[in-house]
Chain A
Amino acid sequence: MSGRTPNQKAWWLVLPVVVLVAFNAVIPLMTVVNYSVQETFGDNQFFFEGVTWFEQILHSSRFHEALQRQLLFTAIVLAIELPLGVAIALAMPRRGAWASVCLVLMAMPLLIPWNVVGAMWNILALPDIGLLGHSLNAMGFDYNFTRQPLSAWLTLITMDVWHWTSLVVLLAYAGLSAIPNAFYQAARIDGASGWAVFCFIQLPKMKRVLMIAVLLRFMDSFMIYTEAIVLTGGGPGNATSLLSIDLVKIALGQFDLGPAAAMSLIYFLIILLLSWVFYTVMTRDEPQ
């Protein structure tokens, strides 16, 4: 971006965005901060509590368990979706009608409302009448995602893979299509193996879009709520109560505004921090 000219008047052009986003982000965030340091007993009475809620949450085993479940879930879906998405993009036709067909079909899950995604998988996985649930049981597996934690987890992960792998495919495909043909030709002349082409041409050229993919998938999987609540409702028990499900349970279910707000902030900060770590690590050896 070296060709940009200094111009302070450009602020007028970004002002509408700043106002709009600030309205939606700063005011609610201030509200959350405000709640997070107070105690309420209803009747609009608030008492200042300081950092009590933060201390309580950071020490509560319920939060630790939800956080562990969340980290595990995010790690698993990232570990599946990224390699799978890249592999599919590599194996896809690069251009022509078939590439379009693949892209359109694969992008479908991305455009389905999240609660419908949850509902679809619920219907698919129902042990008695769902295609997946019925077939698994017919094959002799003991599968019931409303009763067994393991079944619930597998269903949740499969759903997320179904829902989001296409995003990685789209991004990786975009990165691959941007590689000029001469690189492949040069590699053939240099006698490079398919693996070497992947390591030294395709992967480095896809690096930027893959970074976007990791960030987006990390953030969105860490924030997963709607699909999961429709599919499993956090159950059985608390087995699939991921962070945001747990948070909403506290906030809406028990009307504990203070702890819920404090937890929200901690949650937001974890995402910011981890995103920043990912971003820094991935851009560290980028030549300027």
Chain B
Amino acid sequence: MARIGLKDLRHSYGPAPQAESDWALKRLDLSFADGSANALLGPSGCGKTTLLNIISGLLRPSEGSVWFDDRDVTALPADAREIAQVFQFPVVYDTMSVYDNLAFPLRNRGVPAAAIDHRVREIAALLDLEDTLQRRASGLTADGKQKISLGRGLVRSDVNVIMFDEPLTVIDPELKWRLRSKLKELHRRIGLTMIYVTHDQTEALTFADRVIVMNEGVVVQAGTPVELFERPQHTFVGHFIGSPGMNLLPATFDGGVARFAGHAVQMSVAPRAVPANAQLQIGVRPEFVSFADTGIPVSIVKVADAGRFRVVETRHAGFSIRLLVGEDAKLPSERACLRFDPSFTQLYVDGWRLGEQPR
């Protein structure tokens, strides 16, 4: 087990990157605490798999270094880093039995047979694979095969980190939930550092203690699920996480007050000054918008039922603002006013929350 550190990392697949867009990963500094459960969340092509492959040693970064505790492992190949990885599609050795699959990484490292047997049975019990140990691995279902991939990582007692690259892609929906709970339970029982890559916010938010949101090769925010929800550092986090996503409204700034369509809006952090010529946006999640007697006058456009609550779409000055109301709450008639909860209303300057600096 280890704390993982990434310093001044940059990566480009092309040989001579020139434009900023040539970099698959733009400069980033990150660390993963020992024994933590982390998720790398972002849309396809945001660089999360690149980052994962750099940590596992399958890819050498163009610039920067990778640290496991106080050891610089940038130059070490994948097999010398003592990591485990579960891929998007199950990787099993077809011709071997489940038992041999699990024993394979240990045999490659010359572990004595008795120790292998002990360890394989222990892991098989942990993953509920005991009944299938003697079966051919190729005959198993997709989730069984993913368990084997995971098991091959777990059998090694010296792994620094286990990485998951969208491991539930090919699993049936109801099994997805079971396998995810299994992963969570494993993390609690063995306390390994885990990094989980996904583009599915539910997977990320339910699995991880800390979620790292990436977009276009940049880490836009790293924090607990609650932080991502309550204080998105970037408009991308605001609309990517949450359903529906954050309301983003164009804003102006004068006399120390941020305004939306002329209405003054209170902020969690009172803005003092903003750079000139910057694009300003007010961001507030639908959860923190409510009907009130005074505030921003709106007309109600649409009401959609979403189970325990309803999503109400309203309009003001041509901009749509959504809010959530309880399923039993009474809706005002056509004319209404909105109130934004000041502690959860943010001002974004060129996409970044006021006070946060883009790296």
Give per-residue flags for A182-196: 1 if the beta carbon is below 8 A from chain B beta carbons, else 0.
110110111111001
A204 touches B95 (CB 8 A): yes
A182 touches B89 (CB 8 A): yes
A204 touches B85 (CB 8 A): no
- A sample of 28 inter-chain contacts (CB < 8 A) reads A180-B91, A182-B91, A185-B56, A185-B58, A185-B87, A186-B85, A186-B87, A186-B152, A188-B58, A188-B78, A188-B79, A189-B83, A189-B84, A189-B105, A189-B153, A190-B108, A191-B109, A192-B108, A193-B108, A196-B108, A200-B93, A200-B96, A201-B93, A204-B93, A204-B94, A204-B95, A205-B94, A287-B136
Task: Kindly list chain B residues whose C-beta atoms are within 8 Å of the C-beta of A287.
Answer: 136, 138-139
Task: Kindly list chain A residues whose C-beta atoms are within 8 Å of the C-beta of B89.
Answer: 180, 182
B77 touches A188 (CB 8 A): yes
B108 touches A191 (CB 8 A): yes
Residue of A nearest to B88 (CB): A182
CA distance A189 to B156 in the complex (A): 11
Task: Kindly list chain B residues whose C-beta atoms are within 8 Å of the C-beta of A200.
Answer: 93, 95-96, 104
A-side binding surface: helix, strand, loop or mixed?
A: helix
B149 at the A interface (CB under 8 A): yes
* Shortest distance from the beta carbon of A185 to any chain B beta carbon, whole Å: 5
- Point out which of A196, A200, A201 has the most chain B C-beta atoms below 10 A from its C-beta: A200
Contact residues, A161-219 vs B (CB, 8 A): 180, 182-183, 185-186, 188-193, 196, 200-201, 204-205
A side interface size, CB within 8 A: 17
* Total A-B contacts with CB atoms under 8 angstroms apart: 56
Task: Kindly list chain B residues whose C-beta atoms are within 8 Å of the C-beta of A182.
Answer: 87-89, 91
B-side binding surface: helix, strand, loop or mixed?
A: mixed
Residue of B nearest to A186 (CB): B91
Chain B interface residue bracket vs A: 20 to 34
- Point out which of A183, A189, A204 has the most chain B C-beta atoms below 10 A from its C-beta: A189
Task: Kindly list chain B residues whose C-beta atoms are within 8 Å of the C-beta of A196.
Answer: 108
CA distance A62 to B266 in the complex (A): 105
Residues in B lying within 8 Å of A, measured CB to CB: 53, 56, 58, 77-79, 83-85, 87-89, 91, 93-96, 104-105, 108-109, 136, 138-139, 149, 152-153
CA distance A188 to B96 in the complex (A): 17
Residue of A nearest to B110 (CB): A191
8 more A-B residue pairs beyond the given contacts A191-B109, A196-B108, with a C-beta to C-beta distance below 8 A: A185-B56, A186-B152, A188-B58, A189-B84, A190-B79, A190-B104, A190-B108, A192-B104
Task: Kindly list chain B residues whose C-beta atoms are within 8 Å of the C-beta of A193.
Answer: 108
Task: Kindly list chain A residues whose C-beta atoms are within 8 Å of the C-beta of B88.
Answer: 182
B94 touches A190 (CB 8 A): no
* Shortest distance from the beta carbon of B103 to any chain A beta carbon, whole Å: 10
Contact of B105 among A180, A185, A190 (CB under 8 A): A190
B79 touches A191 (CB 8 A): yes
* Shortest distance from the beta carbon of B162 to any chain A beta carbon, whole Å: 10
Task: Kindly list chain A residues whose C-beta atoms are within 8 Å of the C-beta of B79.
Answer: 188-191
* Shortest distance from the beta carbon of B108 to any chain A beta carbon, whole Å: 4
Task: Kindly list chain A residues whose C-beta atoms are within 8 Å of the C-beta of B96.
Answer: 200
CA distance A193 to B77 in the complex (A): 13
CA distance A180 to B136 in the complex (A): 20
Residue of A nearest to B78 (CB): A188
Task: Kindly list chain B residues whose C-beta atoms are within 8 Å of the C-beta of A192.
Answer: 104, 108
